[in-house]
Amino acid sequence: MNQATDEYDVIVLGAGPVGENLADRARAAGLSTAIVERELVGGECSYWACVPSKALLRPVLARAEARQVPGLREAVGGSLAAADVFAHRDKQVGNWKDDGALTWLESAGIDLVRGHGRLVGPRRVAVTPPDGSGGGERALTARHAVAVCTGTRAALPDMPGIAEARPWTSREATSAGAVPDRLIIVGGGVVAAEMATAWCGLGSRVTVLVRGSGLLNRIEPFAGELVAETLREAGAEIRTGTSVKGLARPGGVEGPVTVTLESGEQLEADEVLFATGRAPHTADVGLETVGLEPGGWLTVDETCRVTDVPDGWLYAAGDVNHRALLTHQGKYQARIAGAAIAARARGVERLDTGRWGEYATTADEAAVPQVVFTDPEVAAVGLTAEQAESEGRDIRVVDYDMGQVEGAALYADGYRGRARMVVDLDRGHLIGVTFVGPGVSELLHSATVAVAGEVPVDRLWHAVPSFPTISEIWLRLLEAYRG
Ligand SMILES: Cc1cc2nc3c(=O)[nH]c(=O)nc-3n(C[C@H](O)[C@H](O)[C@H](O)COP(=O)(O)OP(=O)(O)OC[C@H]3O[C@@H](n4cnc5c(N)ncnc54)[C@H](O)[C@@H]3O)c2cc1C
Ligand SMILES: NC(=O)c1ccc[n+]([C@@H]2O[C@H](COP(=O)([O-])OP(=O)(O)OC[C@H]3O[C@@H](n4cnc5c(N)ncnc54)[C@H](O)[C@@H]3O)[C@@H](O)[C@H]2O)c1
């Protein structure tokens, strides 16, 4: 049981998926633990990011796949029932209430302190209660560790008219309850690609304005190319090499918005979404009281302990440390940081923080998996060929047309997809794998096991994929590799 005082072994700032997992690990190790949350327990991921976005995308992708199945195609020719899609999304996010999460916190024995938390010196946290709750500021002290898991918010560029135009960020794009007739999306990353897929599928006329040369530029180039091709076929316009210099919404938020491009051209839409990256919630968490610069990403070691803080009591996990802005990777960090905090609290002096050690977040560098839920799906782990080359690795790249795999052709008529594996020739194992195509998301973990497990390519030859599944892509890639 946690004690009733305001002194805890561990205090976690932020109850997103990462803070929840870190608190859970610490508590399971027998440490008294408090978690501080100023909005909803479950964080951005549960209410305005992963969960609602995937609820919006699921019917779009299911319909796209069904339209590639002869005999079924005609049955799914119509438009989506947007009201039903929104109702399902609302259910998945618990109607933006966190009752379910509170029950879990209680059962885990973690104390929740509602309010905005900030450091007020080493191991000390002040919590300002939410407006209108009537309580006063609460002072908490941590015996062993404070973990900052405060996540990120959408980063908006500084440009004339942006504040007054009230553009959508990822929050509005995932929680809106009406389909805009015309939607402009600024950005070419993961949020832009997924939200273009979702809103185009729901019936918006979507225009994506990409500053660079294409979509999803941190993944193998063929991924963004295939996604852009499908979006264009679905009626979206993708404009590359296009920068925005200003916004105006003279008629107020109910009226249309005008977007001015660098070229001087003006475009009009009913809504504009800025999907231009993330900024950390570190400006107002009291970093200056412990000798750190507020506002930036927090630099951590292999155990997620913040570097440059004497006595090693401050940790940062999840988006806020910028290692990998993904829920599953942040939860991995939380498991390792929670275990490290517990071990250090027990007085263990030397933790195994070597490569793939029990207390090292090695996968953050070597094997980060990501699924982008676009049409077609994109699933990638590890390094791209370009990243591997820029690290000076001696590699061999093998590509394969996934449409040639019997299981894929049976899965979807006219299956379009591509796979790539990147082999490190010095080490003899895979360091990167990318699949693009319908239904590839569930294939990704096989690649993650191969990359994180550093399975020798020769041994993979004995891992026989079932016929006729899409996973026979493994056989084709390995055959091509072996010649
Ligand atoms: C549209 C969108 C879709 C995404 N889809 C996916 C996906 O499909 N898969 C995936 O892996 N990742 C996805 N991501 C990324 C994912 O949302 C993040 O990686 C994840 O939310 C990070 O978790 P976190 O706990 O670090 O931070 P968050 O989820 O941001 O949680 C941080 C919490 O801290 C609280 N907080 C902040 N400051 C304070 C303070 N001072 N005091 C108290 N509380 C505070 C916040 O209110 C919040 O609840 C998506 C992101 C976006 C924007
Ligand atoms: N399925 C998933 O795993 C998933 C889904 C959504 C988001 N996420 C995570 O959330 C994070 C945030 O996603 P995101 O798409 O917002 O960021 P991102 O960093 O992936 O992409 C940002 C894009 O905006 C562009 N950009 C930045 N500033 C701009 C400006 N001033 N004008 C025009 N373009 C500009 C960049 O060039 C880039 O294309 C990502 O790191 C991603 O991993 C994951």
ipTM, 2 decimals?
0.98
Cβ atoms within 10 Å of 293's Cβ, excluding its own: 10
Q: Which atom of ligand 1 sits closest to the CA of residue 54?
A: 8
Q: What does the block give as tokens for 363? A: 């996968």
| Domain ranges (residues) in the chain | 7-42+98-153+280-363, 162-276, 376-482
* Same fold? 162-276, 376-482: no
CA–centroid distance for 116 within its chain? 24
Cα–Cα distance measured from residue 399 to residue 221, given in angstroms and rounded to the nearest whole number: 12
pLDDT score, position 132: 76
Contact 395, 385 (CB under 8 A): yes
Nearest ligand to residue 15 Cα: 1
Q: How confident is the model over 165-190, as pLDDT tens digits?
A: 999 999 999 999 999 999 999 999 99
Dihedral angle, C-alpha 145, 148, 149, 150, nearest 10 °: 150
Nearest ligand to residue 174 Cα: 1
Does ligand 2 have an atom closer than 6 angstroms to the CB of 276? yes
Q: What does the block give as tokens for 290? A: 């412990």
65 falls in which pLDDT band (50, 70, 90)?
very high
Please give the distance, rounded to the nearest whole angstrom, from the Cα atom of residue 172 to the centre of ligand 2: 15
pLDDT score, position 125: 98
Ligand 2, from 54, 276, 441: best to mutate by most atoms within 8 Å of Cβ?
276
Q: Return the CATH class of domain 162-276.
A: alpha beta
Does ligand 2 have an atom closer than 6 angstroms to the CB of 448? no
Q: Helix 327-345 and helix 17-28: axis angle, to 10°?
A: 30
Please give the distance, rounded to the nearest whole angstrom, from the Cα atom of residue 180 to the centre of ligand 1: 26
Cα–Cα distance measured from residue 228 to residue 269, given in angstroms and rounded to the nearest whole number: 20
Cα–Cα distance measured from residue 15 to residue 24, given in angstroms and rounded to the nearest whole number: 11
pLDDT score, position 109: 97
Q: Has residue 3 got a pLDDT over 70?
A: no
24 falls in which pLDDT band (50, 70, 90)?
very high
pLDDT score, position 280: 98
Q: Has residue 245 got a pLDDT over 70?
A: yes
Q: Which residues contact 427 (CB under 8 A, 6 or more apart)?
A: 454
CATH architecture of 7-42+98-153+280-363: 3-Layer(bba) Sandwich (3.50)
User: Which range is least confidently modeled, 134-138, 142-146, 154-158, 228-232?
Assistant: 134-138
Q: Is the dihedral of CA 295, 299, 303, 307 positive or negative?
A: negative
Cα–Cα distance measured from residue 300 to residue 297, given in angstroms and rounded to the nearest whole number: 10
- The DSSP 8-state label assigned to residue 312 in this structure reads G
Cβ atoms within 10 Å of 1's Cβ, excluding its own: 6
Q: Which atom of ligand 1 sits closest to the CA of residue 284?
A: 41
**Which fold would CATH assign to domain 376-482?**
Enolase-like; domain 1 (3.30.390)
Average confidence (pLDDT) over 215-220: 98
Q: Has residue 320 got a pLDDT over 80?
A: yes
Nearest ligand to residue 43 Cα: 1
Integer angstrom CA distances of residue 351 from 222, 302, 452? 41, 11, 21
% of the chain at pLDDT higher than 90: 96
pLDDT score, position 1: 43
pLDDT score, position 5: 55
Does ligand 1 have an atom closer than 6 angstroms to the CB of 21? no
